Structure 1
Amino acid sequence: MSWIDIGALGDIPIRGARKVKTRAGCIAIFRTDETTIFATSSTCPHKGGPLEEGIVHGTSVTCPLHNWVFDLETGEAQGPDDGRIATYPAKVEEGRILIDAALLGQKAA
């Protein structure tokens, strides 16, 4: 994988998120605890809600527009809703957030 540094882990509060603009489009970076992060599409497939503004709980995010809940690990909608968001490899090294640049070039974010 080709990892790129997108910022400091400390820039995202626990149970918070930030939107990152890439050449392939915008992605959302979610921090679920001290050292765990997830990278997904920043847009809800239902009504285009900004997922980085949603509520982070456990390893899920709830869309701020219509309360759809997505698993941050798989991207699958939870509950009665049917849908999926894209997920991207991400990791933390030495307090920095890294995402896989190669995958972003292959998929629309």
Structure 2
Amino acid sequence: MSSSAADPNYTYYEVGSIDDFMERVGRRVIIGEQEIALFKTSDGALYALENKSPGPKGGTLVEGMVSEHILFDPICDWRIRMTDGQVLDPDTGQVTTYPVLLSGERVHIGIPKSGGESDNDQRT
């Protein structure tokens, strides 16, 4: 979720202006080797998730539908909570999420300094 305070465990990369992102429409962002789907909710919150479906058919998430703070996987219609990447019942799984930092009107995505996955990567 978007924040105005940087987490010291992440390196932040600018990906555009807040106005560059349409509400409820995903946008694909590539930072190094990370492919990220960035979503802006109707209340203005920004969420960055790994652009990889946790579903058995695979695919990407960027084309998913957003309803409040839930993302519907475009391939298998699983519901994913964007705040933490958790797949909601009756399905199971998790998507890696990344912190989003707002600096004025500029949007930045945080990538873990260790070069690994973010702290909530617990795929099943």
TM-score after normalising by structure 1: 0.88
Moved over 3 A (4+): 101-104
Shift in Å at residue 77 of structure 1?
0.4
* Aligned equivalent of 2:88, options 78, 85, 92: 78
Structure richer in helix, relative to its length: 1
Q: 1:22 to 1:3 in 2, by over 3 A?
A: closer
Residues 51-60 or 96-105, more deviating: 96-105
Shift in Å at residue 104 of structure 1?
7.9
Say how many residue pairs are matched. Answer: 109
- Write out aligned runs for 1:6-85 (5 A): 6-46=15-55, 47-85=57-95
What whole-Å deviation, never above 9, does each CA across 1:82-102 have from its counterpart, x for those lacking one? Answer: 111001111222111111134
Aligned to 1:106: 116
Q: 1:5 to 1:95 in 2, by over 3 A?
A: same
What whole-Å deviation, never above 9, does each CA across 1:37-94 have from its counterpart, x for those lacking one? Answer: 0111111111222211000111111011110110001110012001110011112221
For 2:25 and 2:16, the matched residues in 1 are separated by: 14
Contact 2:61 2:73 in 1 (8 A): yes
The one-letter code of the counterpart of 1:45 is P
The one-letter code of the counterpart of 2:13 is I
Query: Percent same amino acid at aligned positions?
Result: 28
Root-mean-square deviation (CA, aligned residues, Å) is 2.0
TM-score after normalising by structure 2: 0.78
Contact 1:28 1:39 in 2 (8 A): yes
SS of residue paired to 2:35:
strand
Q: Is residue 5 from structure 1 mapped to residue 17 from structure 2 by the alignment?
A: no
Contact 1:35 1:92 in 2 (8 A): no
For 1:40 and 1:104, the matched residues in 2 are separated by: 18
Shift in Å at residue 106 of structure 1?
2.2
